[in-house]
Amino acid sequence: MALNFRGPDAVPLTLQINGEAHQVLVEPRRTLLSVLREELGLTGTKRGCGQGQCGACTVILDGETAYACLTLAIECEGREIVTIEGIAQGDALHPVQAAFIQHDGYQCGFCTPGQVVSAVALLAHTPQPSEAEIRAGMAGNICRCGAYPAIIRSVRAAAETMAEQEG
């Protein structure tokens, strides 16, 4: 069987984002970040560096965090994509979002969608993380404002809220 090359012209893709199927027509060179923001209007996922150096573009792919800026959209077919827009349940904020508000887990807020997405994924894998586990799990998200102590407090508080809701 020979390789089935698609492109360089636009190809139709079906992307499963926040539980919904989206059809787009894009060239293979497009990153998931550019498709989310420019084709689908999902601008909650931020473009910081575009080079895998800041974490502002963090999304969840099949349960694991990834940088949308270095992910080709064409390689996301058949994968479960969760963006910051898919974290709240309707109008009900996710406990991580509520904790970031309550504990001032940000200053300018630019890095916050990425921070929240990383924290949600971290707590899904490790519901009761130690301080070291929080630091390691959040290590791929830079905050230029340096809100780190408040970010760690927010994640810890969210873990506690989620444990109470479970129990």
Ligand X SMILES: Cc1cc2nc3c(=O)[nH]c(=O)nc-3n(C[C@H](O)[C@H](O)[C@H](O)COP(=O)(O)OP(=O)(O)OC[C@H]3O[C@@H](n4cnc5c(N)ncnc54)[C@H](O)[C@@H]3O)c2cc1C
Residue 118 binding partner per list ligand X, ligand FES, other proteins, none, with a CB distance cut-off of 5 to 8 Å that depends on partner kind: other proteins
Asked whether position 75 contacts ligand X by CB under 6 A, the answer is no
C-beta of residue 153 within 8 angstroms of C-beta of residue 67: no
- From CA 121, how far away is CA 144, in angstroms rounded? 22
Asked whether position 8 contacts other proteins by CB under 8 A, the answer is yes
- From CA 167, how far away is CA 158, in angstroms rounded? 14
Residue 109 binding partner per list ligand FES, other proteins, ligand X, none, with a CB distance cut-off of 5 to 8 Å that depends on partner kind: ligand FES
Which residues have C-beta within 8 Å of that of residue 106, sequence separation ≥ 6? 100, 112, 115, 143, 145, 147, 150, 151
Asked whether position 53 contacts ligand X by CB under 6 A, the answer is yes
Site string for ligand FES, 85-124 (x = CB under 6 A): ---------------------xxxxxxx------------
The tokens for 74 are: 């064409």
Asked whether position 7 contacts ligand X by CB under 6 A, the answer is no
- From CA 103, how far away is CA 54, in angstroms rounded? 22
Asked whether position 144 contacts ligand FES by CB under 6 A, the answer is yes
Residue 113 CB, nearest distance to ligand X (Å)? 19
Asked whether position 17 contacts ligand FES by CB under 6 A, the answer is no
Touching other proteins, residues 124-163 (CB under 8 A): 135-137, 139-140, 142
Asked whether position 51 contacts other proteins by CB under 8 A, the answer is yes
Q: Which residues of this protein are in contact with ligand X, per CB under 6 A?
A: 52-53
Q: Which residues of this protein are in contact with ligand FES, per CB under 6 A?
A: 47-50, 52-57, 67, 69, 106-112, 143-145, 147
